[in-house]
Amino acid sequence: QESKVYCFLTPVQATLYEAVVREQMQQIESAGDEMQRRGAVLAMLLKLKQICNHPAQFLHQVDGGAETVDLISGAEDRRSGKLLRLVEMLEEVISVGDRALIFTQFAEMGRLLKPYLQARLGISTQFLHGGTPTAQRAEMVRRFQEDEDGPLLFLLSLKAGGTGLNLTRANHVF
């Protein structure tokens, strides 16, 4: 079953989004040739995706440490409509003891989400990314699939988690 969930941009996101569109459109218009224009369009799309995830990702304020949790906790988590909606949905998932996979295109966003979700939801969360060693990857999959007390949430970067995994224990995929 698939559901589309829509999120609003927060005022911070909308301001950044508008500024990036304005700046990038100027670059696209002044680009010398078709290849430069295409490159500028792709760069703009990347930046807009980051803004939609969380302004901290776009501003490269993510390092995965305790300061990451502080950065987006409290009033700061109101900077991302997408993050707010994700947390609401995950609270529902956890309240009934279900498990979820959360895919992200950006490893940087996974580094932001892991400590934040652990602190905000009070549960263990795993994050599989391209830099995860093979043995650790296998153990993470085993814990999620087989361990009754294993983590309810499994974050995966698309590159690392998109192929070769069989994660049937999840009831939800985000």
For residue range 115-135, what is the model confidence (pLDDT) as tens digits? 999 999 999 999 999 899 989
And the tokens for 77? 């988590």
- What per-residue confidence (pLDDT) applies to 79? 81
- What per-residue confidence (pLDDT) applies to 56? 87
- What per-residue confidence (pLDDT) applies to 142? 94
Cα–Cα distance, 147 to 124 (Å, whole number): 13
- What per-residue confidence (pLDDT) applies to 48? 96
Cα–Cα distance, 9 to 151 (Å, whole number): 30
3-class secondary-structure state, position 173: strand
Cα–Cα distance, 123 to 115 (Å, whole number): 10
- What per-residue confidence (pLDDT) applies to 88? 94
- What per-residue confidence (pLDDT) applies to 32? 83
pTM of the model: 0.85
- What per-residue confidence (pLDDT) applies to 156? 95
- What per-residue confidence (pLDDT) applies to 98? 95
Task: Provide CB contacts within 8 A for 106, sequence distance 6+.
Answer: 49, 50, 53, 57, 157
List the pLDDT tens digit at each of the 174 positions of the chain: 889 999 999 999 999 999 999 999 998 888 889 999 999 999 999 999 999 999 988 987 755 555 555 555 545 556 899 999 999 999 999 999 999 999 999 999 999 899 999 999 999 999 999 899 989 999 999 999 999 999 999 999 988 866 678 888 999 999
